[in-house]
Structure 1
Amino acid sequence: MPKMKTHSGAKKRFKLTATGKVKARHAFSSHILEKKSPKYKRNLASPVILSDHDAPRVKTLLGAKKS
């Protein structure tokens, strides 16, 4: 079998931490920001750690080892 290629869209959107967790951007943070409060927008700026349920799918797309 040939090697699986890294998903180009996933590598632009997700990063793996040193402990193997998946780091991503918050949703709803790119436009229609006028009606959102400054506190809410500030919280959207920080990265989010994907849940344990979603992480394995993203790791497969990134080509990470199974753990």
Structure 2
Amino acid sequence: MPKIKTHRGTAKRVKVSANGKVTHRHQFSGCGHILSKKSRNRKRKFRKDQAVFSGDLKRFAPQIPYLL
């Protein structure tokens, strides 16, 4: 049986935490430009990684077989 290829685009965007949770950066974070209209609290929340939802994890699982 051949090895399963990892989807490189997914592997670059997703990582597994120490507790086994799959995390990713916030979508629509927009922390690169037009920061003056965004609140300090909002920008601070964008810094942290976010856990992948269980429905999305079912899609990601075949793409990253060796990370999970």
Residue segments in structure 1 that go unaligned for 5+ positions in a row: none
From the superposition, tell whether residues 58 and 33 of structure 1 become closer, same or farther in structure 2 (CA, over 3 Å): farther
Task: State the 4+ residue runs in structure 1 displaced beyond 6 angstroms.
Answer: none
The match for 1:37 is: 39
Give deviations 1:10-56, integer Å, cap 9, x for gaps: 11100123443210000122433332111101001111001111112
Residues matched between the structures, number: 66
Tell me the TM-score normalized by structure 1: 0.76
The match for 2:28 is: 28
Identity of aligned residues (%): 41
From the superposition, tell whether residues 34 and 59 of structure 1 become closer, same or farther in structure 2 (CA, over 3 Å): farther
Are the equivalent residues in 2 in contact too, given 1:13–1:24 (CA < 8 A)? yes
Shift of 1:60: 1.5
From the superposition, tell whether residues 56 and 18 of structure 1 become closer, same or farther in structure 2 (CA, over 3 Å): farther
C-alpha distance in 1, partners of 2:8/2:67? 17
The match for 1:7 is: 7
Residue segments in structure 2 that go unaligned for 5+ positions in a row: none
Tell me the TM-score normalized by structure 2: 0.75
